[in-house]
Amino acid sequence: MIVVIDSGVWISALQFEGTPLLVFERVLARDRIAISESIVYEIRKSLIKKFGWTNGEIEEALGYYGARAIHVEVIGDICGFCRDPKDDMVLETAVLAGAEIIVTGDKDLLTMGQFRGIRILTPREFLTLGEG
pLDDT, tens digit, for every residue of 6-62?
999 999 999 999 999 999 999 999 999 999 999 999 999 999 999 999 999 999 999
Q: What is the pLDDT of residue 132?
A: 47
Average the pLDDT over 88-114 and give the result. Answer: 95
Q: Residue 47 falls within a domain, yes or no? A: yes
How far, rounded to the nearest angstrom, does the alpha carbon of residue 71 sit from its chain's CA centroid? 12
CATH classification at residue 102: 3.40.50.1010
Q: Residue 131 falls within a domain, yes or no? A: no
Q: Residue 121 falls within a domain, yes or no? A: yes
Q: Residue 44 falls within a domain, yes or no? A: yes
Q: Residue 66 falls within a domain, yes or no? A: yes
Domain count, the chain: 1
32-36 and 2-5 beta bridge pairing: parallel
Domain that holds residue 40: 2-126
First and final C-alpha spacing in the chain: 19
pLDDT, tens digit, for every residue of 64-89?
888 889 999 998 778 667 677 688 99
Q: What is the pTM of this model?
A: 0.92
